[in-house]
A and B are shown apart, each in its own frame.
Chain A
């Protein structure tokens, strides 16, 4: 079946228009400036820059006040800051010399990595100086970066204390897992920080919920025994228990909102961050943030230029090969090929897919895959008994089998939390999906069996 010239002409015009939009953009005058109205590409850390922070092992000291019997106390000072009589004080290093060792530095690095993972940071680099303990942490620049960075200096010490005596009733060793959960109630969505205790912790917690209660004695006086739940010595909540909890789960309300999704998201983020801190363990060394800067990517652009140049040259050679061997249909193939690249790039922009340097894998694969498919199509059309539907069917059949593992990779990678990997997956996924649909449309509209036969 021969296509009308109008049909082909219109198809080519549409593809050229898509190419222009994708490669050049759509420019509109905004505030006296010409601006591209297409969404910007979202770049990963190694292409878009990162927040680079430096943490050093704290050399600060803390003042410790002792009472007459040599016990540490917080009540040994007068209002003006002077020591009460009989009390003594000592300036003690936050990190003793004993804790400053390579093993602890490595543990601290692992905890920081776990925290970043628990907080949902999609990509990070942690570099440790094994001698000094200094750490350089790189995280992507976004709205949660500052919160993430500030959370890294916490020790992550979870404690449940008697609020009167300060006796530590439970700590991190009793915790099995901390997580963020949320549920819908009549008033809206409530976000909780769920602290799940281990076997021993569950027993301790059950006893605590029996002891720390509000009760009224025979004289009608209400007596309340409170616990203070603290993170790094700072009280998160002071509370008592209305009922015995024997399932070993402590749900702490972080916040509730009736309609505002922004508020809910913020509570979820807070809960996740605290859960991340508790879950990752206690830092054996106290760190302090000494540098915090955004830094542009350090990728050597000459390498990228070389890669793009080499790909360009290979493509040109490939196109010449098509023209020499398949004449008219080769021209349609080249136009279709460029159209495919343009549509994929547009899809990546609109689908908000992050492009990391690792996504170069997806780009190269898609360029090769689409070239293989169009070459096979041209070869099939060049056969004397070629039939358009058979060619499409045959091509799909062959390449669905060959590229199935790549589709498997695309799906698996897309669901990974590590951005460079999900970036490969998402770019592959969009590229393959578009290729499947686009190939059918373009071959149906442009390729002509009769012309090749001549």
Chain B
């Protein structure tokens, strides 16, 4: 009875989170990580070996309190790309000046260029996972139905399906509510949640099935 009550509370909280998540999605746009959102990539050709720390210091002055991702261009350790949300003309001029001074470059205008990187769509991110996830889920349902036939085929599959949907919806809602940036870690986390729900449910079914078998044995 106590367990049933707990389950109801958990489902109630989950539904509440999902509802808030839906509202949050309507109010705000999904927050994407820097690399997945539209941003500016500043390619800097220094022409000689550099220390990233020097560049980070310059970037800190030019783009205070902004998230910056660095990437090396090619293998010669003489060019670098700085990914920033956006760059103004003023910031660009300051950056050029500071890079020129720091690395004692004769020419700067041709050594720095800005590329606008378009945003990476959620559908492109999710699409490759749809088919394998559907296949995996269908085979899993078939397996669960057969393996735990004594617990009721529709009950076990139904419970697992609801748990999978609710858990993924809760994850998506939390991402929306807390404004966690959608990016490279989103899909792995979603799959981890999927796996945990399956393992948790399977462990529960395994124990239930065992108990039921023992009870049946006792009755006999």
Contacts and interface: CB of A to CB of B under 8 A. Distances in A.
Interface in A246-263: none
A398 B204 CA distance: 11
Contacts of B144: 405
A193 B140 CA distance: 39
Interface string B58-73: 0000000000011111
A308 interface: no
Interface residues of A, number: 46
A420 to B, nearest CB: 7
Contacts of B124: 113, 125-126
A46 B184 contact: yes
A297 B71 contact: yes
B184 A398 contact: no
Interface stretch (B5-13, B17-25, B88-96, B128-136): B128-136
A89 to B, nearest CB: 35
B74 interface: yes
A294 B120 contact: no
A427 B144 CA distance: 24
B118 interface: yes
B76 to A, nearest CB: 10
A298 interface: yes
A418 interface: yes
A418 B132 CA distance: 10
Interface in A262-320: 291, 293-300, 303
B28 interface: no
A76 to B, nearest CB: 40
Given A294-B74, A299-B184, A357-B188, A401 B147 contact: yes
A237 interface: no
Contacts of A296: 71-73
Count chain A CB atoms within 10 A of each CB in B117, B118, B131, B139 and give the residue with the most. Answer: B118
Contacts of B115: 54, 136, 291
Contacts of A293: 43, 73-74, 79
Interface in A342-375: 357-358, 360-361, 364-365, 369
A421 interface: yes
Contacts of A125: 120, 124
A236 interface: no
B81 interface: yes
Contacts of B105: none
Contacts of B129: 421
A303 B72 CA distance: 19
Given A127-B120, A412-B136, A421-B132, A406 B199 contact: yes
Interface in A100-138: 113, 125-130, 134-136
A404 B143 contact: yes
Interface string B73-84: 111000101010
Interface string B100-126: 000000000000000111111000100
Count chain B CB atoms within 10 A of each CB in A130, A291, A406 and give the residue with the most. Answer: A406
Contacts of B97: none
A409 interface: yes
Contact of A129 (B69, B116, B147, B192): B116
A299 B135 CA distance: 30
B40 interface: no
Nearest to B77: A296
B175 interface: no
A55 to B, nearest CB: 12
A416 interface: yes
Interface residues of B, number: 42
Contacts of B184: 46, 299, 357
A413 B81 CA distance: 34
A61 to B, nearest CB: 25
B128 A364 contact: no
B165 interface: no
B179 to A, nearest CB: 17
Contact of A408 (B71, B72, B136): B136
B116 A361 contact: no
A295 B72 contact: yes
B118 A134 contact: yes
A200 B43 CA distance: 51
A408 B140 contact: yes
Interface string A30-74: 000000000000000010010000100000000000000000000
Nearest to B116: A129
B15 interface: no
Count chain B CB atoms within 10 A of each CB in A113, A398, A409 and give the residue with the most. Answer: A409
Interface in A394-426: 398, 401-406, 408-409, 412-413, 416, 418, 420-421, 424
Nearest to A294: B74
Count chain A CB atoms within 10 A of each CB in B74, B116, B119 and give the residue with the most. Answer: B116
25 contacts: A125-B124, A136-B115, A136-B117, A293-B73, A296-B71, A298-B35, A298-B69, A299-B184, A303-B185, A357-B184, A357-B185, A365-B192, A365-B195, A402-B199, A402-B203, A405-B136, A405-B143, A405-B202, A408-B136, A409-B195, A412-B132, A412-B135, A413-B136, A416-B128, A421-B129
Given A409-B140, A416-B132, 19 more contacts: A125-B124, A127-B120, A129-B118, A134-B116, A136-B118, A294-B73, A296-B73, A299-B184, A300-B69, A403-B199, A404-B202, A405-B140, A405-B198, A406-B195, A406-B199, A408-B136, A416-B128, A420-B128, A421-B128
Interface of B: 35, 43, 69-75, 79, 81, 83, 115-120, 124, 128-129, 131-132, 135-136, 139-140, 143-144, 147, 184-185, 187-188, 191-192, 195, 198-199, 202-203, 206
